[in-house]
Amino acid sequence: MRCARCRKEAVFTTPALCTEHFISYFERKVKKTIADFTLLSKRDKIVVATSGGKDSLTTLFVLQKFGYDVTALLIDEGIAGYRPVTRKGLETFCQEKKIPLLVASFKKEFHFTLDEMMKKGKHPCTVCGTFRRYLLHTYSKGFDVLATGHNADDEAQAVLMNLCRANTELFTRLGPRTTSRGQGFVPRVKPLSFCTEKEVMVYAFLNEIVVEFVECPYVAEAYRAGIRDALNEYERSHPGTKERVLRHFLKVKKTLPASESTTVACASCGEPSASGECKACRLRAELSL
Ligand SMILES: [Zn+2]
Ligand SMILES: [Zn+2]
């Protein structure tokens, strides 16, 4: 197959583009997302939540390439066999690119690794998610914005999952920009919102972004996997489906009244919470950490 722009050998099929034209296509998409949703300004101090996977490394890479001020933030949950490998990969990447790296660890903050907490009978993803959100929040203080590597597949899957489960309260977490300014939260942005998983994979590969392929041993998202497969099937037969799901959601979201969720400081740690006790402090008490 030939590139639709210059007739050189194509490295990507939909659309058919050569290396050079695919890279400019991808970067234009990211720039357009940043501009259309006013995600970032060149004056912003940006912290990027990084797992060490292709999405977060690509986010760091592309934002640095565009001239933004980026710092990487890794949450080390303490998962044997998984985190040490991805952490090493991220450290090497940050060293090479001269990107500052912050590491927040469960062991240091909560005195136990996630593996150790598992002996207390809670679902690993609940524990991990709650403490991860807490640390992302506390470590992003002093930055203007927190960027994450969510891609169009992640976002379209989340829209459909929430729809199928009637989870409307999670709507606030979806979309390229989730603003909670003025509530003690740093705004969150997703510059890769309109780039598909495949596009991110190819972009990372072409830019020699090395990714360690190790999967979290606790991964058990059967529900999401079903939605992912269905979406991939529709994307194959009807190209553009993922983007349309996302665009439809954003149109609907615009018509909804802004949710006036009021937060109060957590009595134990001072972080914003709905009830006066934040989820992380409640979980710490339940696990007697
Ligand atoms: Zn070309
Ligand atoms: Zn608290």
Q: What is the 3-state secondary structure (H, E, C) of 164-212?
A: HCCCHHHHHHCCCEECCCCCCCCCEECCCCCCCHHHHHHHHHHCCCCCC
Residues 53, 96: Cα–Cα separation, whole Å? 16
Q: Is residue 145 part of a domain?
A: yes
Cα(73) to centroid(ligand 2), Å: 21
* Encoded amino acid at 203, one letter: Y
115 with 66, same domain: the answer is yes
31 with 141, same domain: the answer is no
Cα(144) to centroid(ligand 2), Å: 22
Considering every ligand atom shown, identify the ligand nearest to the alpha carbon of residue 19 and give its number: 1
Note every long-range contact of 138-141, with CB atoms under 8 Å and residues 24 or more positions apart, other chains counting: 138/104, 138/271, 139/47, 139/73, 139/102, 139/104, 140/47, 140/73, 140/186, 141/186
Span 210-226, pLDDT tens digits: 887 787 888 766 788 89
Q: Is residue 2 part of a domain?
A: yes
Considering every ligand atom shown, identify the ligand nearest to the alpha carbon of residue 282 and give its number: 2
- Beta strand pairing call for 272-273 and 264-265: antiparallel
70 with 98, same domain: the answer is yes
Cα(155) to centroid(ligand 2), Å: 28
Which of 40-44, 64-68, 91-95, 123-127 shows the lowest per-residue confidence on average (mean pLDDT)?
123-127
Considering every ligand atom shown, identify the ligand nearest to the alpha carbon of residue 137 and give its number: 2
Model confidence at 195: pLDDT above 60: yes
* Encoded amino acid at 22, one letter: F
Cα(125) to centroid(ligand 2), Å: 19
Cα(264) to centroid(ligand 2), Å: 10
pLDDT recorded at residue 183: 60
As a whole-number percent, the residues of the chain with pLDDT over 90 amount to: 61
* Widest CA span in the chain: 64
The three-class DSSP label of residue 17 is strand
Q: Mean pLDDT across the stretch 170-195?
A: 81
170 with 123, same domain: the answer is yes
Considering every ligand atom shown, identify the ligand nearest to the alpha carbon of residue 2 and give its number: 1
Q: Is residue 83 part of a domain?
A: yes
The three-class DSSP label of residue 265 is strand
Considering every ligand atom shown, identify the ligand nearest to the alpha carbon of residue 276 and give its number: 2
Cα(42) to centroid(ligand 1), Å: 30
Model confidence at 12: pLDDT above 90: yes
> Residue written as tokens 């940043």?
34
Identify the band that residue 259 occupies on the pLDDT scale cut at 50, 70 and 90: low
Cα(270) to centroid(ligand 2), Å: 6
Considering every ligand atom shown, identify the ligand nearest to the alpha carbon of residue 264 and give its number: 2
pLDDT recorded at residue 217: 81
Residues 250, 246: Cα–Cα separation, whole Å? 6
Considering every ligand atom shown, identify the ligand nearest to the alpha carbon of residue 278 and give its number: 2
Cα(260) to centroid(ligand 2), Å: 21
Cα(263) to centroid(ligand 2), Å: 12
pTM (2 d.p.): 0.91
Concatenating the DSSP letter of every residue in 94-144 gives HHHHT--EEEEEHHHHHSS-HHHHGGG---HHHHHHHHHHHHHHHHTTTSS
Q: How many domains does the chain have?
A: 2
111 with 30, same domain: the answer is no
pLDDT recorded at residue 223: 82
Contact 164, 124 (CB under 8 A): no
Residues 82, 18: Cα–Cα separation, whole Å? 34
Cα(196) to centroid(ligand 1), Å: 20
pLDDT recorded at residue 270: 84
Q: Is residue 280 part of a domain?
A: no
Ligand 2 is a single-atom ion; what residues have CB below 5 A from it?
Answer: 266, 268-269, 271, 278, 281
Quick count: other Cβ atoms within 10 Å of Cβ 6?
12
SS (H, E, C) 67-100: CCEEEEEEEECCCCCCHHHHHHHHHHHHHHHCCC
Residues 6+ apart with CB under 8 A from 118: 124, 127
Domain of residue 14 covers 1-36
75 with 184, same domain: the answer is yes
Cα(30) to centroid(ligand 1), Å: 19
Span 226-256, pLDDT tens digits: 999 999 999 999 999 999 999 999 998 888 7
Considering every ligand atom shown, identify the ligand nearest to the alpha carbon of residue 274 and give its number: 2
In order of 50, 71, 118, 214, the CA distances from 95 in angstroms are 14, 12, 33, 21
89: CATH: 3.40.50.620
Cα(277) to centroid(ligand 2), Å: 6
Q: Is residue 133 part of a domain?
A: yes
Model confidence at 181: pLDDT above 80: no
pLDDT recorded at residue 180: 58
Span 98-146, pLDDT tens digits: 999 999 999 999 988 988 888 777 888 888 889 999 999 999 999 999 9
